[in-house]
């Protein structure tokens, strides 16, 4: 409901620009993304062990992963000799990346879920949009000219079960990146329900009070 309202509202009034996004909304897969802790932790693992090889996440520190609920052993394994307060810098230098990827440096992922039209749905669609064209060339329907390889192996997956597994991974990754882009979102919504409940209560009281005051308007003496 809220999504629908928002969608109509933004379409009518705000009509966002695609900005730097490559996708047009129509091709995005809007299937629901998980929000539970377990999915975030699974997503963290894929991002730390796979994506982080090429992409930095400069607004995330290893300590944040601990707070999210990733086990200490795993975090220690990922960070190696780096301190818990180190940021998740890319394991590839910019020069090496440019060399490998035709001059582009893989963009930072910590804000990526907010930086593309479609947010998490864009990420999920992008990661699962890899396929082999008829002449055996790797293609991506969401971002056709992307220089990122098919890291989750979507195009090479042969059977439906394997595909489903990759899609589940892509969902966990997207869920984790949504969290990474706005880590206070859960706290925000939680606080928001209390704030709205309080305001609703106050507003009803104020309305009743207003009715009481205005009920005596006929006795109001004229202003001198």
- Contact residues toward another protein (CB under 8 A) are 2, 6, 9-10, 12-21, 59, 111, 114-117, 119, 181-184, 188-189, 191-193, 195-196, 199-200, 202-203, 206-207, 209-210, 213-214, 217, 220, 222-223
Contacts with ligand HEC by CB under 6 A lie at 22, 46, 50-51, 53-55, 101, 104, 106-107, 109, 112, 116, 123, 126-127, 143, 146-149, 151-152, 173
Q: Which does 14 bind (CB under 5 to 8 A by kind): ligand HEC, another protein, none?
A: another protein
SS3 88: strand
CB within 8 A of 148, min separation 6: which ones?
A: 54, 101, 106
CB within 8 A of 113, min separation 6: which ones?
A: 119, 120, 123, 174, 177, 178, 180, 181, 182
114 versus 162: smaller Cβ distance to another protein: 114
75 versus 109: smaller Cβ distance to ligand HEC: 109
Which residue intervals of 101-217 are DSSP H helices? 112-115, 119-128, 160-181, 185-215
63 versus 74: smaller Cβ distance to another protein: 63
Other CB atoms closer than 10 Å to residue 23's CB: what's the count?
A: 20
């Amino acid at each position: 409901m809220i999504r629908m309202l928002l969608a109509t509202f933004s379409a009518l009034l705000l009509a966002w620009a695609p900005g730097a996004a490559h996708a047009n909304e129509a091709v995005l897969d809007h299937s629901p993304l998980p929000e539970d802790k377990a999915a975030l932790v699974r997503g963290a693992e894929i991002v730390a062990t796979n994506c982080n090889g090429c992409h930095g996440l400069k607004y995330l520190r290893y300590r944040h992963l601990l707070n999210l609920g990733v086990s200490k052993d795993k975090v220690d394994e990922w960070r190696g000799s780096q301190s818990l307060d180190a940021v998740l810098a890319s394991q590839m230098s910019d020069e090496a990346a440019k060399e490998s990827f035709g001059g582009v440096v893989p963009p930072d992922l910590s804000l990526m879920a907010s930086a593309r039209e479609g947010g998490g749905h864009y990420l999920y669609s992008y990661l699962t949009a890899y396929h082999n064209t008829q002449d055996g060339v790797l293609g991506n329907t969401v971002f056709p000219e992307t220089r990122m390889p098919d890291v989750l192996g979507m195009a090479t997956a042969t059977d439906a079960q394997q595909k489903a597994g990759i899609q589940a991974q892509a969902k966990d990754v997207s869920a984790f990146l949504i969290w990474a882009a706005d880590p206070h979102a859960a706290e925000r919504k939680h606080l928001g329900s209390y704030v709205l409940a309080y305001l609703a209560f106050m507003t009803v009281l104020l309305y009743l009070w207003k009715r009481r005051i205005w009920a005596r308007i006929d006795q109001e003496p004229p202003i001198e």
